[in-house]
Amino acid sequence: MKNGNHSLLEAFNNTTYQVSGHGKRNVQVLKDAFDDADGNMNSDMYGNGKPIEEFQEKMAKYLGKPSAVFFPSGTMAQQIALRIWCDRIGIKKVAYHPLSHLEIHEQDGLKQLHHIETVLLADKERTIELEDVLNMKEDVACVLLELPQREIGGQLPTYEDLEAISAHCRAKGIKLHLDGARLFEILPYYRKTASEICGLFDSVYVSLYKGIGGIAGAILAGDEDFTSESKIWKRRHGGDLISLYPYILSADKYFDQRVSKMDTYYEGAKELAELFNECHAISTKPSIPVSNMFHVHADMPKERFESALTSVHEQSGIGISPYVNSTSDTACYLEISIGDRYEAIPKAELKKALRLLDETMKKLFR
Amino acid sequence: MKNGNHSLLEAFNNTTYQVSGHGKRNVQVLKDAFDDADGNMNSDMYGNGKPIEEFQEKMAKYLGKPSAVFFPSGTMAQQIALRIWCDRIGIKKVAYHPLSHLEIHEQDGLKQLHHIETVLLADKERTIELEDVLNMKEDVACVLLELPQREIGGQLPTYEDLEAISAHCRAKGIKLHLDGARLFEILPYYRKTASEICGLFDSVYVSLYKGIGGIAGAILAGDEDFTSESKIWKRRHGGDLISLYPYILSADKYFDQRVSKMDTYYEGAKELAELFNECHAISTKPSIPVSNMFHVHADMPKERFESALTSVHEQSGIGISPYVNSTSDTACYLEISIGDRYEAIPKAELKKALRLLDETMKKLFR
């Protein structure tokens, strides 16, 4: 919880409904995850065995790739993917967005462990477009695209741009890697299958605890020789655990439960963004969401928005967010990710809460 | 399962009792681990939160170190410990045993990810002694001692040697790291507390799924500034998962359940080794175990010993090992690690099984 505000967090924790997520991340989730699993099923052992092999095959098929490997984290999976491509091409340089997870959330693991240099494409406010890739002056082994671009509210390039970037990279011998932390969540907007989108990329990472709502874990998919090499690097990183089955079994269960609900989450995000955009001094980014997520920006200092939210939480019983991030001294934002919880909120109460937010914001501006 | 023999594995899986381990590593272990946990307890979040912080404090206290960090694996924890010491001292070289886990089981992660060179101390047949450290010609940042040395049957140096190595390293400004994958298991032999042994080392790793019998996971302990830095590297390695609580809760539960049983496991190992040493063409290493583990060496090719074991499994219902490792064309060995299962075997049946092994070995030598 970054930039935590105690009153806001407490008020949020006391609400009856919450707009984001699938539910609490507590021990009950673990109990539920293994409740109906067969007690006699053996654990995976260092990357082998039924639970991991079957799930990897299932995910490879879903993503339309020859092979898939389960990783404890996306951080590990993606550094390894980029390392493999750099070694293959013989260039220790990759290109990605300035707000890529690798650039801002991984303590520079890619540079510190793999000595890979980075070229930052596009600017912080928008997604990478075809022009950015065409105008790239430096030779890189790989371009990484994050779909949707999380740190700017989950924006997406057009599908035509994606296809053109893919064709260009293929023609130039540049590998294209998909940071698909939220791949499932963008399928309804693009109206494509996962397999169609992954077909544009040489390697693909997907997360299993965001839209899918597992405990933790990730999948890295690609050709057989790519995934075989990734297993060696998984061992080197310390990610080839004796047992990953708590993550695998829960990912498998929640994948089956939620992968078909991405359309519902997407529709919910559009509906809720519209309600936020009716509020004073508030706007969403994107203005119309293209996935289950968006950012809510407020034209006021973080502390004032926190007190507005605290008040709305207390009065409405509906939790909007447990935290707010500062954009500048006079602006701030929070992130919304629609999951199972959203459907459970009575629509009339939700609208009342948003009207209350509107009024609270107006009062603060008086 | 390395060098797997199908008949042996099948016969082993059909036995009623098994001499090694705590039990099956199956889904039931997960169900049991979380059964009596409070459903409302929240998950850890990226290394913070009650379950991880409380367990880390508990382990720091037990190990007698100011601070401890939970890691998904020992591979990750130990590479990071050595990296920190190399950076501190300004020498990218460490010394350890030729059969160290880092040298033979980690796909050279230490070299490939951290570019750390290694000096191999002692030879493959014995543990590192004071003389080896005194005679070391190269400058190293850190010496790593594995107690007990697993790949040679779990041998230990004398405690006096340990103290002398520690004093020497401290005097010379060389950091001393403990690979304590089986630290709990050696306390009965040394008649020392974990804290006393750890006091000889600058940093300590312990495993939570061997003698303790958790699902997976490790602890790295040391001074506050050391463990703080290790958390940054944990993030870089991709080990700072959103949720590690399946491993933490099970480690905590099984630590409480088993840490006081190490003496029983140790006594069991000595008793069983004696029975093996009465068998024809069989000897244990060490001849008298110094922990819960030992190796059983047979003077015959692996395939013949496998068929002897298969026959004993089928006739006695007692499982000795699901696999055998080759030492040479005419010799082989298997590993025994005593846990909860050993106590459950009726002593008369156990002795009958070992007598049967003796007779079978004699027949094979005719």
The rounded distance, in Å, linking the Cα atoms of B308 and B306 is 5
Tokens read off for B351:
């002795």
Proportion of chain B above pLDDT 90, given as a percent: 97
| pLDDT beyond 90 at B9 | yes
Of the candidates B79, B235, B245, the beta carbon closest to that of A238 is on B79
- Which value, to the nearest 10 degrees, does the dihedral of the CA atoms of residues B127, B128, B130, B135 take? 140
Residue-wise pLDDT tens digits, A328-364: 999 999 999 999 999 999 999 999 999 999 999 999 8
| pLDDT beyond 60 at A1 | no
Provide the CATH topology of domain B44-242. Answer: Aspartate Aminotransferase; domain 2 (3.40.640)
Interface test with B, best of A229, A237, A323 (most B CBs within 10 A): A237
From chain A residues 7-26, the ones with a CB under 8 A of any chain B CB are 24-26
Domain boundaries, chain A: 6-25+261-365, 44-242
Hey, is B68 helix, strand or coil? strand
Q: What rounded mean pLDDT belongs to chain A?
A: 97
CATH assignment of A6-25+261-365? 3.90.1150.10
Q: How many inter-chain contacts (A to B, CB under 8 Å) are there? A: 169
Contact call for B43 and A34, based on CB within 8 A = no
Contact call for A109 and B236, based on CB within 8 A = yes
pLDDT at A330: 96
Q: Does A71 touch chain B (CB under 8 A)?
A: yes
Residue-wise pLDDT tens digits, A290-303: 999 999 999 999 99
Contact call for B242 and A112, based on CB within 8 A = no
In chain A, which residue's Cα lies nearest the Cα of B232? A107
Give the mean model confidence (pLDDT) for residues B228-236: 98
Beta bridge partners of B70: B219
| pLDDT beyond 80 at A202 | yes
pLDDT at B42: 95
Q: What rounded mean pLDDT belongs to chain B?
A: 97
pLDDT at B5: 83
Are B6-25+261-365 and B44-242 in the same CATH fold?
A: no
The rounded distance, in Å, linking the Cα atoms of B100 and B144 is 9
Q: Does A45 touch chain B (CB under 8 A)?
A: yes
Tokens read off for A15:
């609400």
Contact call for B27 and A235, based on CB within 8 A = no
Of the candidates A28, A29, A238, the beta carbon closest to that of B237 is on A238
Q: How many helices (H) and strands (E) does chain A have?
A: 16, 13
Q: Does A331 touch chain B (CB under 8 A)?
A: no
Q: Does B49 touch chain A (CB under 8 A)?
A: no
Q: How many helices (H) and strands (E) does chain B have?
A: 16, 13
pLDDT at B1: 41
Residue-wise pLDDT tens digits, B95-150: 999 999 999 999 999 999 999 999 999 999 999 999 999 999 999 999 999 999 99
The rounded distance, in Å, linking the Cα atoms of A333 and B213 is 45
In chain B, which residue's Cα lies nearest the Cα of A229? B107
Contact call for A28 and B39, based on CB within 8 A = yes
Amino acid identity, residue B276? F
| pLDDT beyond 70 at B192 | yes
